[in-house]
Homo-oligomer: A and B are copies of this chain.
Amino acid sequence: MTHARLTPLAAALPSTVPFVGPEEMERQRGAPFTARLGANENGFGCSPRAVAAMQAASEEIWKYGDSSSHDLREALAAFWSCRPENIVVGQGIDGLLGDLVRLTVAPGDSIVTSLGGYPTFNYHVAGYGGTIHTVPYRDDHEDLPALIARAAEVDAKLVYFANPDNPMGNYLPGAKVAEALEALPEGTLLILDEAYAELAPEDAATPVAMDDPRVIRMRTFSKGYGMAGARVGYAIAEAPLIAAFDKVRNHFGMNRTAQIGALAALQDQDWLAHIRAEVASARERIGAIAAANGLNALPSATNFVAIDCGRDGAHARALVAAFAEEGIFIRMPGVAPLDRCIRISCGPAAELDRLEAVFPQVLARVATPA
User: A76: which B residues are within 8 A, CB to CB?
Assistant: none
Cα–Cα, bound, A62→B228 (Å):
5
- Asked whether, in the complex, the Cβ of B105 is within 8 Å of the Cβ of A7, the reply is yes
Copies in the complex: 2
Task: Contacts A55-B55, A102-B10, A226-B61 given; indicate if A3 touches B214 (C-beta within 8 A).
Answer: yes
Residues in A53-85 with C-beta less than 8 Å from chain B: 54-55, 57-68, 70
Cα–Cα, bound, A249→B270 (Å):
36
Cβ of A319 under 8 Å from chain B:
no
* Contact code string A28-60 (vs B, CB < 8 Å = 1, else 0): 000000001001011111100011001101111
Interface residues on A, range: 35 or more
* Contact code string A88-102 (vs B, CB < 8 Å = 1, else 0): 000110110010001
- Asked whether, in the complex, the Cβ of A17 is within 8 Å of the Cβ of B67, the reply is yes
Residues in A1-42 with C-beta less than 8 Å from chain B: 1-10, 13-15, 17-21, 23-24, 27, 36, 39, 41-42
Interface centre among A103, A184, A189 (most CB of B within 10 A): A103
User: A253: which B residues are within 8 A, CB to CB?
Assistant: 91-92, 94-95, 231
- Asked whether, in the complex, the Cβ of A43 is within 8 Å of the Cβ of B61, the reply is no
Interface centre among A9, A63, A237, A256 (most CB of B within 10 A): A63
Task: Contacts A5-B157, A54-B257, A55-B55 given; indicate if A252 touches B92 (C-beta within 8 A).
Answer: yes
Nearest opposing residue in chain B for A27, CB measure: B70
Cβ of A188 under 8 Å from chain B:
yes
Cα–Cα, bound, A8→B50 (Å):
41
Which among B27, B43, B51, B60 is the interface contact of A58 at CB below 8 angstroms?
A: B51
User: A98: which B residues are within 8 A, CB to CB?
Assistant: 250
Cβ of A247 under 8 Å from chain B:
yes
- Asked whether, in the complex, the Cβ of A252 is within 8 Å of the Cβ of B21, the reply is yes
- Asked whether, in the complex, the Cβ of B103 is within 8 Å of the Cβ of A21, the reply is no
